[in-house]
A and B are shown apart, each in its own frame.
Chain A
Amino acid sequence: MKLIKPVAPLLIFIPLIAYIPISIEIIKEFHIGGINIIFQFITSAIKPSLNILVVRSAWEGLQITIAAALTSWVISMFIGIFLGVLSTDLFWKSMPNFSFLGKFIKYSLAVPRSIHEVIWGILFIQIFGLNIWVAIISIVVPYSAITARVISEQLDSFDIQPLIALQQTGANSMSSFITILFPKLMPILSNYGSYRLECAIRGATLLGIFGLGGIGTELYLTLKSMEFREMWTCLWMLWFVIISLEKLIRFIRTNFYSNIDFKKSILTTISILFSSLLIGIIWLYGLSYDIFTPPTYTYLIWPSFLEIRQAFYDLPLLNLIITTISITFLASGIAIGTPPLLLIFFPNKISLRMQSIIWVFFRLIPPPLTTIIILLFTIPNISVAALSLGITHMGVMGRLLTDSIFNQKKDIYQAIKSNGSSRRSATLYGLLSPKSNSYLAYGSYRSDVILKETAIIGAVGGVGLGWQLQESLSSFDWAQVIVVTCIFSLLTISGEFLFYTSQNYWLRNSTNNFII
Chain B
Amino acid sequence: MTKLLELKEISLYHKDNFRVKNINLIVNQGEKIAIVGKSGAGKSTLISIANGSILPSEGDVIWKGQSINNLRKREYSNIGTIWQDLSLIDELNVGQNINCGALGKHGFLWALKNLVGIIDKELCKECLAAVGLPEKSIYSYISKLSGGQKKRIAIARLLRQEPEIALADEPFSNLDPLLSENILDLLINNKNYFNIQIPKTLIISLHQLNLLNKFNRVIGIKEGEIVIDSSINDLKPSQIDWIF
Interface residues in chain A, defined as those with a beta carbon under 8 Å from any beta carbon in chain B:
1-4, 6-10, 411-412, 414-422, 424-426, 428-430, 433-434, 436-437, 509, 511
Binary contact track B61-76/A, C-beta < 8 Å → 1, others 0: 0000000000001111
Count chain B CB atoms within 10 A of each CB in A2, A418, A509 and give the residue with the most.
Answer: A418
**Complex Cα–Cα for A318 and B205 (A):** 67
**Complex Cα–Cα for A422 and B139 (A):** 25
Closest to A8 in B: B91
Closest to B113 in A: A1
With A7-B92, A509-B143 given, name 18 new contacts (CB 8 A): A4-B93, A7-B91, A9-B89, A9-B115, A10-B116, A415-B87, A420-B74, A420-B76, A420-B104, A422-B108, A424-B111, A428-B111, A429-B100, A429-B103, A434-B89, A434-B90, A509-B91, A511-B91
* A–B complex contacts, Cβ < 8 Å, 6 sampled: A2-B118, A9-B92, A412-B88, A418-B76, A420-B78, A437-B91
Cross-chain contact B53 with A418 (CB below 8 angstroms): yes
- Interface of A, helix, strand, loop or mixed by DSSP: helix
Cross-chain contact B91 with A421 (CB below 8 angstroms): no
Tell which of B81, B113, B117 touches A415, judged by Cβ atoms closer than 8 Å: B81
Cross-chain contact B117 with A4 (CB below 8 angstroms): yes
How far is the CB of B38 from the nearest CB of chain A, in Å? 23
Cross-chain contact B73 with A422 (CB below 8 angstroms): yes
How far is the CB of B53 from the nearest CB of chain A, in Å? 5
Answer whether A511 and B107 are a contact pair too, CB < 8 Å, given A9-B115, A415-B81, A418-B53.
Answer: no
Count chain B CB atoms within 10 A of each CB in A9, A415, A426, A511 and give the residue with the most.
Answer: A415
Residue B207 lies at the interface, judged by CB distance under 8 Å to chain A:
no
Residue B80 lies at the interface, judged by CB distance under 8 Å to chain A:
yes
Cross-chain contact B53 with A414 (CB below 8 angstroms): yes
Cross-chain contact A416 with B100 (CB below 8 angstroms): yes
Residues of B within 8 Å of A421, CB to CB, are 73, 103-104, 111
Cross-chain contact B116 with A3 (CB below 8 angstroms): yes
Residues of B within 8 Å of A437, CB to CB, are 91
Interface residues in chain B, defined as those with a beta carbon under 8 Å from any beta carbon in chain A:
51-53, 73-81, 83, 85, 87-93, 96, 100-101, 103-105, 107-108, 111-113, 115-119, 121, 139, 143, 161, 163
Leading 8 A-B pairs by shortest Cβ distance: A420-B104, A420-B77, A420-B76, A415-B87, A421-B103, A425-B111, A10-B115, A419-B104
How far is the CB of A420 from the nearest CB of chain B, in Å? 3
Count chain A CB atoms within 10 A of each CB in B80, B87, B105, B115 and give the residue with the most.
Answer: B115
Answer whether A425 and B117 are a contact pair too, CB < 8 Å, given A7-B93, A436-B91, A509-B143.
Answer: no
Count chain B CB atoms within 10 A of each CB in A4, A416, A420, A426 and give the residue with the most.
Answer: A420
Residues of A within 8 Å of B143, CB to CB, are 509, 511
**Complex Cα–Cα for A104 and B48 (A):** 58
How far is the CB of A230 from the nearest CB of chain B, in Å? 44
Residues of A within 8 Å of B75, CB to CB, are 420
Tell which of B74, B85, B111, B119 touches A429, judged by Cβ atoms closer than 8 Å: B111
**Complex Cα–Cα for A8 and B141 (A):** 12
Residues of A within 8 Å of B89, CB to CB, are 9, 412, 429-430, 433-434
Residues of A within 8 Å of B101, CB to CB, are 419
Residues of A within 8 Å of B96, CB to CB, are 7
Cross-chain contact A433 with B91 (CB below 8 angstroms): yes
Tell which of B53, B74, B113 touches A417, judged by Cβ atoms closer than 8 Å: B53
How far is the CB of A463 from the nearest CB of chain B, in Å? 34
Cross-chain contact A9 with B87 (CB below 8 angstroms): no
**Complex Cα–Cα for A71 and B12 (A):** 55
Cross-chain contact B80 with A419 (CB below 8 angstroms): yes
Tell which of B53, B108, B115 touches A7, judged by Cβ atoms closer than 8 Å: B115
Cross-chain contact A419 with B161 (CB below 8 angstroms): yes
Tell which of B81, B107, B116 touches A422, judged by Cβ atoms closer than 8 Å: B107
How far is the CB of A386 from the nearest CB of chain B, in Å? 26
Answer whether A420 and B85 are a contact pair too, CB < 8 Å, given A2-B121, A429-B111, A436-B91.
Answer: no
Residues of A within 8 Å of B161, CB to CB, are 419
Tell which of B77, B83, B90, B118 touches A411, judged by Cβ atoms closer than 8 Å: B83
How far is the CB of B114 from the nearest CB of chain A, in Å? 9
**Complex Cα–Cα for A442 and B75 (A):** 38
Cross-chain contact A2 with B87 (CB below 8 angstroms): no
Cross-chain contact A419 with B103 (CB below 8 angstroms): yes
